[in-house]
Amino acid sequence: MSLLHWAVLSPFLLAIIVPFLYKLFRQIHTGWFVLILPVLLFTYFSRFISLTKQGEVITERATWIPSLGIHVDFYLDGLGLLFALLITGIGSLVILYSIFYLSKVKEKLNQFYVFLLLFMGAMLGVVLSDNLIVLYSFWEFTSLSSFLLIGYWNERERSRYGAQKSLLITVFGGLSLLGGIILLSIMGNTFSIRELISQSGELMDHPLFTPALLLVLLGAFTKSAQFPFHIWLPDAMEAPTPVSAYLHSATMVKAGIYLVARLSPVFAESGVWFWCVSIAGLITLFWGSFSAVKQTDLKGILAFSTISQLGLIMSLLGLGAAALHYDTLGENIYLAATVAAVFHLINHATFKGSLFMVAGIIDHETGTRDIRKLGGLMQLMPITFTVAVIGAFSMAGLPPFNGFLSKEMFLASMVNVLELDIFNMETWGVLFPVLAWVASVFTFIYSMIVVLKPFTGKLQLHLLEKKPHEAPIGMLISPIILATLVIVFGIFPNLLSSSIIKPAVASIQPNLVDSNFQVHIAFWHGFSPELWMTIGIIVIGIILYKTFPKWKRIYQWLPERFSLNALYDNGLNALERSASSVMKFLMTGSIRTYLLSIFLFFILSLGFALYWKDAFKLDTGNFAPIGLYEMVLAAIIVIGSISILFAKSRLTSIILLGAVGYTVSLFFVLFRAPDLALTQLVIETISVALFLLCFFHLPLLASRKEERMTFRLNNALISIGVGTIVTLIALSAHSNKLFDSISSYYLENAYKEAGGKNVVNVILVDFRGLDTMFEISVLSIAALGIFAMIKLRLTGRKDKS
């Protein structure tokens, strides 16, 4: 356990204490206690910048399951550090913002911050783990905490729906990621990412390579909301706005991007990777920006915009893979795509984070996020407006903000695609810049909608729930910091280039980046194609924005029922319906039917196995002599069992059953097994008493006229069948001795190893103690289940939804 391990563990540890802090200091907003941790972590991680800048990496190991080769290896390089800084930095700002956003009186703050801390720890684990199994565990943890956070207002139906949707989709992807990880470990015989990277050349030719690649990508795409799995992200906007800003824009959805970037050195040489990543990214980019324009909910626009921007980063990572095929080029133009991806990742976190916070402020101060109701807030909320302008213009790709720079680099990379001559790019390559350009036009339009609709136009006070005014200063600090970063990174992009971007690019493309490689980001490249493209975007964008009501109808071309959401809803409904019909068919509620099918299966499967394997064998040589006692006891059992059938009342049959049970325990006495005899005796006593008690307290049952058991051939056949099979198996088991009995081992070692003379008990508590442990757990679950079923049925639950 190193300091790095403690750093990742610390959010989890704090999460344990948070509920107590909440209980003890009710008058202080819990967020203040929580805020300390990400700030500390941010300072801790920023100390590593100087190390990774020189290309050094930090590795720390703690053993977890050494027998399976699973260690908690943390590996801090440029890429991991970039994400760690984003997680802790944005995390600090979001927590500060949430302190003013969430009321300490009304909200369940203890839960909120526990979930948020779980997420933070899990996310740090994802980006720092070198071991894929550890990474996967943290990965699922982020899905889980995201689920909890989306469903934070769990009394709302939409929240629950969104939470379930995100969980189903991301966990589905997580499972496929696990499959990919297992395939990778089979190929490379290791779970370590670094070791996999070092043997990436051999992995390429392995037959499992492509399946592994696709499975891993499926995991990354679901997490990063790539088309067609993006549908969960807009519904995740039901979460409180700080959560949306943090998880669903700056960090968690970028986990998929992280994974693609991290595993690029393993997979990127393959054409499948290039095509999948860049095409999925481009389609998502286009579809996200296209759908964003039609949204009326401010957070809805931002959600689709996030989808689209994630697609942009993804497509750049895909294009960056092309660089591997041109490693002889001195000035590798495709490497620029990777640089742009990393740069845009940072920029997106800053401008999107600030925009989300603006949306939260508007929601908080006016009571609505519907852009049809909002308008004219510019005079009332000047500071918020300024932040919104900076964020939205950066998102639209306007100078002098950082979004302009990364957008230019993005367009340049797309134009460079035209020169590619691998993977059949000559024919389809032209689609890349075209799609990118069209998507950018829509990006421009929705960016304008985000900033212009709420802030300009006419103020319609009667539509708003509250009288709007400027937000409290505490809520403004975080978006102002982010907006400042937008400008600073825009004007001085090279602040980041050698300290953060270059080391991160070096982790994604380790073979291409050497010490001579320099990232230089400049404002002015002359009148290059990308500049003309940007000018075109602005001109066309303004025209389309002005004429939006005229072409709005194209969104109705695709009817609702063909949308992906409808597919998801119908699929889920069909699944639930078919599951419930299977349940109805199998679970009739009649114990007799259950027993019939269980016994029938028992007879058929065991009888068939006996016949097929020719397993029946009778070896009389080993039989003990049958004495008078045994004869008498057996006779009692037979008489008792048969007379149960003819008993007139249930009470009689229960007492008879008890008698049979006691006689069986006498057999144990005869064979000198006092423990068994004792147990059997007590169990018989208790179960008979239980039955009697039931009858005593269930007067209805007792007074009802009891049906006489009638003879049924089926039942008779089945019961005789069960008896025969058991007898045959018992006889064969006695006659077939394939192994030495283990009992001699127990007899010898009970005293030597466990210091006990009662072998039965020694087995129970020592030799097979783990069995006992689980048995008592099962018993407990059964008891609680019975309690719950009976008690909860009595109180009667009503669904309020």
Partner 1 sequence: MKQNDLILQTVTKVAAFVILLFAVAIFLGGHYSPGGGFVGGLMTSAAIVLLLLAYDIKTVTKILPIDYKLMIGSGLFISSLTVAGGLVFGVPLMTHVYRYIDLPILGHISLHTAVLFDLGVYLVVVGVTMTIIQTIGESE
Q: Give residues in contact with partner 1 (CB under 8 A).
A: 674-675, 678-679, 682-683, 685-686, 689-690, 692-694, 696-697, 754-758, 760-762, 764-766, 769-770, 772-773, 776-777, 779-780, 782-784, 786-787, 790-791, 794
- Within 8 A by CB and 6+ apart from 587, the residues are none
Instruction: Give the closest residue to 398 by CA, choosing from 554, 283, 531.
Output: 531
- Within 8 A by CB and 6+ apart from 17, the residues are none
Q: Helices 402-416 and 473-491, interaxial angle, to 10°?
A: 50
Contact status, residue 429 vs residue 386, Cβ threshold 8 Å: no
Contact status, residue 488 vs residue 495, Cβ threshold 8 Å: yes
Alpha-carbon gap, residue 720 to 325, rounded angstroms = 75
CA angle 115, 120, 126 (to 5 degrees): 125
Q: What are the DSSP calls for 260-325, one per residue?
A: HHHHHHHHTTSHHHHHHHHHHHHHHHHHHHHHHHH--BHHHHHHHHHHHHHHHHHHHHHHHGGGGG
Tokens coding 321: 């893979």
Instruction: Give the closest residue to 11 by CA, choosing from 39, 42, 49, 37.
Output: 37
Nearest distance from C-beta of residue 758 to partner 1, angstroms: 6
* Three-class SS of 193-240: HHHHHHCHHHHCCCCCHHHHHHHHHHHHHHHCCCCCCCCHHHHHHHCC
Cβ-based nearer residue to partner 1, 539 or 776: 776
Write the CA distances from 325 to 338, 527, 721, integer angstroms: 14, 29, 71
Nearest distance from C-beta of residue 9 to partner 1, angstroms: 17
State whether residue 105 is helix, strand or coil.
coil
Chain CA centroid to CA 549, Å: 40
Instruction: Give the closest residue to 143 by CA, choosing from 122, 121, 157.
Output: 122
First to last CA, the chain: 47
Nearest distance from C-beta of residue 680 to partner 1, angstroms: 10
Alpha-carbon gap, residue 364 to 525, rounded angstroms = 43
Tokens coding 173: 């992807």
- Within 8 A by CB and 6+ apart from 57, the residues are 75, 76, 77
**H runs (alpha helix) in 509-590:** 529-546, 548-551, 564-586
